């Protein structure tokens, strides 16, 4: 009696240990494997199968083991189970109750069978055929439903051939075996459902982050697919950092959760742009507001020409000018100069190249050189003060005031993301996402962090953000730079303390830039790169 009691206590303790292990398991394949191996250990079964109930109303084989035959499929093996799924219903719609696994899935009741070849009510003809082909003898069966917390059957656990430890002969499964396996199956279903809910939560959150990113890209056609490309490039850098076995990153690793966290943060790195005014975020030329004001200036230039021509004719009619064609020559020279100045303004408005001091001085001269008279008789300059101010932007299309508005998106990103209640494995998302405009030398924004105040992941997003911006070919105000030019610029940025030199060297040495280029750049951008001549690259 005491011996039986001790055995029962041991088995209950074993059940508790298995249940604890199931609760801690985060990998679905490993979880299914633990379910089957735990049930086999509890009952001494020689073989077993775990089925999952599919949306197609069929039982799908997830993992199969048979110790005598040396068979192990599915689960953590990486070997697919090739057996066809078991239908829960026949073609006429009636329940498939002749199959014991299907019956258990439909009824929710466990079934114990001492000898399958002599079982009543179930069809084991398929089992007999398999036995004939393998030489195996399937005898005792224990089939239990896997019910989740809502009492819904999500799978079936089936064990075959309990082996008597004393005689090594196949024996029937006992009532105690059934109680233990039913309890284990219930725990397994709960653990599996929890894993599915966690995976669904992750998938929902990940999908939501991508929706936000794609919404920002849609809002801002001027930056095209920036919010989608940056995370892809970030993860390429992360993969290279984890794979390298040389340099300062030789021992660098990211756990599964850290890798996932980085991906989420990269997708959300520009989420603050949802609050950036479209007039700023979509500004493709220096004078763009509701419309591009360069056309208003062109219209004023046409008015100036017309008024100059009228003035010339009045001078001729009043006889105030003599000397043949002199008035015409003067007028034509004036028009040529005005056309040349207007052409210069059109180029300056694009914001593609750095404005030299002499270019700024020319804009001031143009602003004061031409006037026109409006319908009320008021004399006005060709360029307003605001237009002159914007045309004199040295680089890009944004004024200092507009650039500050644009920069604010990083602070907004941090504010927005800090409002979310993250699980522990995503707690660093706000910092990783919001620090991509910080610099190694502390001259970045919004907080002026230095390199040692940022994680490697944060610096990865910064590198990806810069390289994508330099090579993006969908900006209306500039063309995407070729690889050689983009990497040269990044090299100088690295030497100036902008980018992480360790990651820049990894970026070049592991050919991350080339892998990205093959997938996202135009063929004409993929030119030869002399890596040895790149500034900041140490090999």
- Are both 180 and 54 inside the same structural domain? yes
Rounded percentage of the chain residues whose pLDDT exceeds 90: 46
**Whole-number Cα distances in Å, 306 to 302, 333, 396:** 6, 14, 33
Is 332 part of any domain? yes
- Are both 39 and 148 inside the same structural domain? yes
- Are both 425 and 360 inside the same structural domain? no
Rounded percentage of the chain residues whose pLDDT exceeds 70: 86
What is the pLDDT at residue 3?
47
What pLDDT, in 10s, does the model give residues 115-144? Answer: 999 998 999 999 999 999 999 999 999 999
Closest CA to 159 of 35, 10, 69: 35
Give residue for tokens 């009045």: 314
- For residues 254 and 212, which has the higher predicted lDDT (pLDDT)? 254
| CATH code of the domain containing 173 | 3.30.450.40
- For residues 474 and 258, which has the higher predicted lDDT (pLDDT)? 258
What is the pLDDT at residue 143?
96
Least confident of 186-190, 406-410, 417-421: 406-410
Is 202 part of any domain? no
User: In this structure, are residues 200 and 208 in contact, taking their beta carbons and an 8 Å threshold?
Assistant: no
| CATH code of the domain containing 440 | 1.10.3210.10
Q: What is the mean pLDDT of residues 507-523?
A: 95
Task: Report the mean per-residue pLDDT for the chain.
Answer: 85
Query: ∠34-37-43 over CA atoms, to 5°?
Result: 135
Query: What are the two backbone dihedrals, phi and then psi, of residue 301, each rounded to the nearest 5 degrees?
Result: -65, -40
- Are both 153 and 73 inside the same structural domain? yes
Cα gap 87→59, rounded to integer Å: 6
State which residues form the domain around 135.
2-197
Q: What is the mean pLDDT of residues 445-456?
A: 92
Least confident of 184-188, 472-476, 525-529: 472-476
What pLDDT, in 10s, does the model give residues 315-343? Answer: 777 765 555 557 788 888 888 999 998 98
Is 465 part of any domain? yes
The total domain count for the chain is 3
If you write DSSP's letter for every residue of 470-518 in order, what string do you get?
HH-S--TTSPPPPHHHHHHHHHHHHHTTSS-HHHHHHHHHTTHHHHHHH
Is 272 part of any domain? yes
Q: What is the mean pLDDT of residues 232-255?
A: 95
- Are both 102 and 164 inside the same structural domain? yes
- Are both 136 and 22 inside the same structural domain? yes
User: In this structure, are residues 140 and 172 in contact, taking their beta carbons and an 8 Å threshold?
Assistant: yes
């Amino acid at each position: 009696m005491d011996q039986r009691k001790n055995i029962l206590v041991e088995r209950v303790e074993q059940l508790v240990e298995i249940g604890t292990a199931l609760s801690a398991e985060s990998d679905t394949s490993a979880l299914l494997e633990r379910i089957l191996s735990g049930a086999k250990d509890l009952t001494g079964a020689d073989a077993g199968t775990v089925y999952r109930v599919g949306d197609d109303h069929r039982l799908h084989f997830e993992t199969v083991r048979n110790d005598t035959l040396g068979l192990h499929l599915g689960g953590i093996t990486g070997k697919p189970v090739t057996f066809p799924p078991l239908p829960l219903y026949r073609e006429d719609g009636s329940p498939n109750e002749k199959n014991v696994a299907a019956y258990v899935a439909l009824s929710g009741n466990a079934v114990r069978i001492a000898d399958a070849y002599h079982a009543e009510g179930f069809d084991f003809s398929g089992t007999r055929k398999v036995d004939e082909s393998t030489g195996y003898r399937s005898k005792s069966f224990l089939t239990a439903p896997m019910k989740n917390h809502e009492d819904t059957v999500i799978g079936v656990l089936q064990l075959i051939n309990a082996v008597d430890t004393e005689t090594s002969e196949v024996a029937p499964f006992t009532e105690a075996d059934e109680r233990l396996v039913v309890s284990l199956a219930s725990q397994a279903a709960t653990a599996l459902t929890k894993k599915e809910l966690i995976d669904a939560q992750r998938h929902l959150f990940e999908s939501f982050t991508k929706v936000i990113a794609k919404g920002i890209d849609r809002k801002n056609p001027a930056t095209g697919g920036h919010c989608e490309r940056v995370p892809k490039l970030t993860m390429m850098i992360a993969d290279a950092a984890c794979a390298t076995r040389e340099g300062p990153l030789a021992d660098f690793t990211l756990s599964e959760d850290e890798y996932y966290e980085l991906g989420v943060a990269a997708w959300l790195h520009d989420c603050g742009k949802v609050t950036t005014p479209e007039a700023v975020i979509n500004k493709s030329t220096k004078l763009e507001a509701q419309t591009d004001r360069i056309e208003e200036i062109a219209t004023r230039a046409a008015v100036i020409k017309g008024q100059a021509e009228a003035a010339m004719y009045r001078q001729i009619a009043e006889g105030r000018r003599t000397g043949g064609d002199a008035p015409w020559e003067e007028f034509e020279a004036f028009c040529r100069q005005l056309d040349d100045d207007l052409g210069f303004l059109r180029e300056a408005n694009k914001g593609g190249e750095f404005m030299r001091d002499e270019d700024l001085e020319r804009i001031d001269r143009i602003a004061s050189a031409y006037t026109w008279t409006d319908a009320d008789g008021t004399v006005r300059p060709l360029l307003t003060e605001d237009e002159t101010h914007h045309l004199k932007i040295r680089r890009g299309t944004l004024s200092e005031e507009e650039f500050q508005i644009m920069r604010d998106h990083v602070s907004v990103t941090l504010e927005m993301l800090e409002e979310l209640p993250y699980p522990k494995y995503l707690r660093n998302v706000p910092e990783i996402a919001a620090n991509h405009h910080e610099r190694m030398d502390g001259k970045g924004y919004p907080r002026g962090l230095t390199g040692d105040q940022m994680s490697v992941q944060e610096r990865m997003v910064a590198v990806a953000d810069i390289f994508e911006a330099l090579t993006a070919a969908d900006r209306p105000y500039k063309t995407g730079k070729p690889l050689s030019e983009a990497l040269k610029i990044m090299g100088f940025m690295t030497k100036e303390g902008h980018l992480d030199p360790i990651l820049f060297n990894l970026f070049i040495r592991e050919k991350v830039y080339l892998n990205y280029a093959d997938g996202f750049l135009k063929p004409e951008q993929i030119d030869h790169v002399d890596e040895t001549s790149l500034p900041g690259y140490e090999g």
